């Protein structure tokens, strides 16, 4: 039994400082420009690829950090730089996790490298689950995948929406219904390889924040993919569907949906992104409060300002501790009995929204302009209470866990 510690070890500190340097020197200076352009910052993704920050190896290393803190630490630093650019850098990871969680070794080896490309030719990937009529209510998904046995191909039809990197991705991971009677238990995930006919980008959304990250509809019209693109393979799917049908018939114990369990595990990472944005805005506000003079003294000398900063710092640390606890639990294989993953995402995302709003207030008129970064950080922060399950959905998950 090791001694209890919240200290980062030397390796972790080194990685943190290296990422912080990249966030401060490369991401932060480019943030305003890519926010205005509302375009994927390809040159910055490429720079990250050159340094090894945009690669499967890097994420795998952080993921396998035995303390569980590798991923949240990396997310916090990159999102401290800028949320839109950082999401462009880590968005591929969402699709990669979809393959790592459900794919065979062969599928992982074939598709994940194609998601990233290499430093001379970077690629991105998209994870497409949400639909116009299936956001929080994933079970009402309509995109269908039908098996064409004669050709050993799956045929996908439907419209996905809100897909990060949708339509510009080299590889799309698409969740589709294979058995409509089983609700979310009748879903399966498919790889759509590069340049597959029938997949096209629909509307690209103009957003409130994280504008450097591409978000779009993905339209699937008779998209044919080989049988080998069904993640996990057909035997495993048939076995899983048979089990779900049996449970539905006999009314057996509720089986936890695998996709939902994956989401629950990935939520601390979103919490860590929110901590990064909150910390960034807090630091700008603290610095400003120390230097802005009104009534003959720095504004931080007013308790009304200083107490706001005290609350901001305290809530950011509390959010980080919830994120670290959940990440440690996930790595240690401890079940989220009280939905601790959701707790961390709920709290950190709400903290990011309110701390960035307080930062605008502390900067006064300057906070409201694009001369200072806090208005952008506030726009960016609004995403955290929406994607990967809204705050209301997190409260549903937590309260259900408590009521069990
Ligand atoms: C920038 C961005 C990027 C995204 N990236 C991806 C991606 O890469 N891949 C992907 O698949 N999806 C992605 N999403 C989709 C995202 O996960 C959904 O927007 C989210 O799940 C909410 O779904 P919805 O927008 O349809 O809202 P709705 O489900 O329609 O919810 C609307 C409101 O009603 C509330 N609500 C709904 N049901 C209940 C309930 N039972 N009780 C109480 N309140 C309720 C919600 O909390 C919310 O406040 C992204 C979204 C955005 C905005």
| Best probe residue, ligand 1, of 208, 386, 389, 399 (max atoms within 8 Å of C-beta) | 386
Determine the 3-state secondary structure of 343 from DSSP. helix
Q: In testing the pocket of ligand 1, which one of 390, 396, 398, 399 has its CB within 8 Å of the most ligand atoms? A: 390
Counting from 1 in the atom list of ligand 1, the atom nearest the Cα of 396 is: 42
Query: Does 262 score more than 80 pLDDT?
Result: no
Domain 125-244: CATH class, spelled out: mainly beta
Hey, whose CA ends up nearest to atom 11 of ligand 1? 129
Output the CA 137–ligand 1 centroid distance in Å: 8
- How many residues can be counted in the chain? 404
> Do the Cβ atoms of 112 and 100 come closer than 8 Å?
yes
**Pairwise CA distance, residues 221 & 198, whole Å:** 5
pLDDT of residue 257: 55
pLDDT by residue (tens digit) across 297-342? 999 999 999 999 999 999 999 999 999 999 999 999 999 999 999 9
Q: How far is CA 138 from CA 191, 259, 261, 275, in A?
A: 19, 10, 13, 27
Task: Decide: 148 in ligand 1 pocket, CB within 6 A.
Answer: no
Q: Are 203 and 159 in contact (CB under 8 A)?
A: no
Which atom of ligand 1 is nearest the CA belonging to 128? Answer: 11
Read off the pLDDT of residues 376-394 as tens digits, 9 standing for 90 and up: 999 999 999 999 999 999 9
- Between the alpha carbon of residue 154 and those of residues 210, 217, 245, the distances in Å are 34, 21, 21
Cα of 77 from ligand 1 centre, angstroms: 26
CA–CA dist 173, 126 (Å, integer):
6
Q: Which atom of ligand 1 is nearest to the CA of 392?
A: 47
> To test ligand 1's pocket by mutation, which of 88, 127, 136, 158 has the most ligand atoms within 8 angstroms of CB?
136
Number of H helices, E strands in the chain: 13, 11
What confidence tens digit (pLDDT) does each residue in 220-232 have?
999 999 999 999 9
Q: Is ligand 1 within 6 A of the CB of residue 384? A: no
92-99 mean pLDDT: 92
190-222 pLDDT, tens digit per residue, is: 999 999 999 999 999 999 999 999 999 999 999
Which of the four pLDDT bands, split at 50, 70 and 90, describes residue 176?
A: very high
Q: Which residue has the tokens 């991401």?
A: 27
pTM of the full predicted structure?
0.96
Going from the Cα of 146 to the center of ligand 1, the distance in angstroms, rounded, reads 26
Closest residue (by CA) to atom 12 of ligand 1? 130
Q: What is the pLDDT of residue 248?
A: 83
Stretch 358-367: mean pLDDT: 98
In 212-303, the DSSP E strands lie at: 215-226, 293-294, 297-298
Quick check: CB of 163 below 6 Å from ligand 1?
Answer: yes
Domain residue spans in the chain?
Answer: 10-121, 125-244, 258-403
Q: How far is the centre of ligand 1, averaged over its atoms, from the C-alpha of 132 (Å)?
A: 10
Q: Percent of the chain having pLDDT more than 90?
A: 89
User: Residue 214: how many CA atoms within 13 Å on its side-chain side?
Assistant: 22
Residue in the structure block whose two tokens are 């499967």: 56
Closest CA to 285 of 350, 354, 351, 360: 360
Residue 253 has pLDDT above 60, yes or no: no
Mean pLDDT of 152-168: 98
Report which protein residue has its CA nearest ligand 1's atom 44.
392
Whether the pLDDT of residue 265 is over 80: the answer is no
Q: How far apart are alpha carbons 166 and 334 in whole angstroms? A: 34
Q: Are 35 and 211 in contact (CB under 8 A)?
A: yes
CB distance 135 to ligand 1 below 6 Å: yes
pLDDT at 263: 67
Q: Does 394 sit in the ligand 1 pocket, CB within 6 Å?
A: no
What is the distance in A from the centroid of ligand 1 to the CA of 131? 10
Catalytic annotation present for 388: yes
Are residues 41 and 85 in contact, defined by beta-carbon separation less than 8 angstroms?
yes
CA 308 – ligand 1 centroid, Å: 31
CA distances from 122 to 114, 119, 315, 385 (A): 9, 6, 37, 30
In angstroms, what is the span from residue 57 Cα to ligand 1's centroid?
30
Distance CA 114, CA 7 (A): 36
Our answer on whether the CB atom of 129 is closer than 6 Å to any ligand 1 atom is yes
Candidates 3, 77, 388, 392; catalytic one: 388
- Mean pLDDT over 360-375 rounds to 98
Closest CA to 22 of 78, 83, 93, 95: 78
Taking the CB of residue 246, how many other CB atoms lie within 10 A of it?
A: 10
Beta strand spans in 113-229 (E): 117-118, 121-122, 125-128, 144-148, 153-164, 171-177, 187-192, 199-204, 215-226
Look at residue 214 in the predicted model and tell me its pLDDT: 98
Question: How does 366-400 read in b/e, with b if 16+ C-beta sit within 10 Å?
Answer: ebeeeebbbbbbbbbbbbbbebbbebebbeebbee
Biggest CA pair distance of the chain: 82
Per-residue pLDDT reduced to its tens digit, 34-92: 999 999 999 999 999 999 999 999 998 998 899 999 999 999 999 999 999 999 999 99
Average predicted confidence (pLDDT) for the chain: 95
Å from CA of 133 to ligand 1 middle: 10
pLDDT exceeds cutoff 90 at 256: no
pLDDT at 258 over 90: no
Please, which pLDDT band fits residue 3 given cuts at 50, 70 and 90? confident
- Rounded to whole angstroms, how far apart are CA atoms 231 and 128? 14
CATH 1.10.540.10 at 10-121, yes or no: yes
CB 383 near ligand 1, within 6 Å? yes
pLDDT higher at 243 or 250 = 243
258-403 belongs to CATH 2.120.10.30: no
């Amino acid at each position: 039994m090791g001694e209890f510690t919240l200290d980062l070890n030397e390796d972790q500190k080194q990685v943190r400082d290296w990422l912080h340097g990249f966030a401060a020197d490369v991401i932060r200076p480019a943030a305003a420009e890519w926010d205005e352009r509302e375009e994927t910052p390809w040159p910055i993704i490429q720079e990250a690829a050159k340094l090894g920050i945009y690669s499967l190896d890097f994420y795998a290393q952080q993921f396998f950090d035995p303390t569980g803190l590798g991923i949240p630490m990396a997310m916090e630093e990159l999102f401290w730089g800028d949320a839109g650019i950082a999401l462009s850098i880590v968005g591929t990871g969402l699709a990669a996790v979809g393959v790592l969680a459900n794919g065979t070794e062969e599928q992982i080896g074939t598709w994940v490298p194609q998601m990233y490309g290499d430093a001379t030719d970077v690629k991105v990937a998209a994870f497409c689950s949400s639909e116009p009529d299936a956001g929080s209510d994933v079970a009402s998904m309509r995109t269908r995948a039908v098996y064409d046995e004669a050709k050993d191909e799956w045929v996908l039809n439907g419209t996905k929406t809100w897909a990060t990197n949708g339509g510009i991705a080299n590889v799309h991971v698409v969740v589709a219904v294979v058995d409509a009677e089983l609700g979310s238990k009748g879903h399966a995930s498919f790889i759509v390889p590069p340049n597959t006919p029938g997949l096209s980008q629909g509307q690209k959304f103009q957003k409130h924040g994280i504008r450097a990250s591409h978000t779009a509809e993905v339209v699937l019209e008779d998209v044919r993919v080989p049988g080998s693109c069904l993640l996990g393979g057909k035997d495993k799917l048939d076995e899983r569907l048979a089990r779900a049908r049996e449970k539905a018939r006999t009314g057996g114990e509720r089986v936890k949906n695998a996709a939902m369990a994956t989401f629950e595990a990935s939520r601390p990472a979103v919490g860590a992104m929110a901590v990064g944005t909150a910390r960034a805005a807090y630091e700008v506000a603290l610095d400003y409060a120390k230097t802005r003079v009104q009534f003959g003294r720095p504004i931080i000398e007013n308790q009304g300002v200083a107490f706001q900063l005290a609350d901001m710092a305290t809530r950011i640390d509390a959010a980080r501790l919830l994120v670290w606890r959940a990440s440690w639990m996930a790595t240690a294989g401890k079940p989220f009995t009280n939905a601790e993953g959701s707790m961390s995402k709920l709290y950190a995302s709400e903290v990011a929204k309110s701390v960035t709003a307080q930062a605008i207030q502390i900067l006064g008129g300057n906070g409201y302009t694009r001369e200072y970064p806090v208005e952008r950080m506030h726009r960016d922060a609004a995403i955290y209470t929406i994607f990967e399950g809204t705050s209301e959905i997190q409260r549903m998950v937590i309260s259900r866990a408590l009521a069990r």
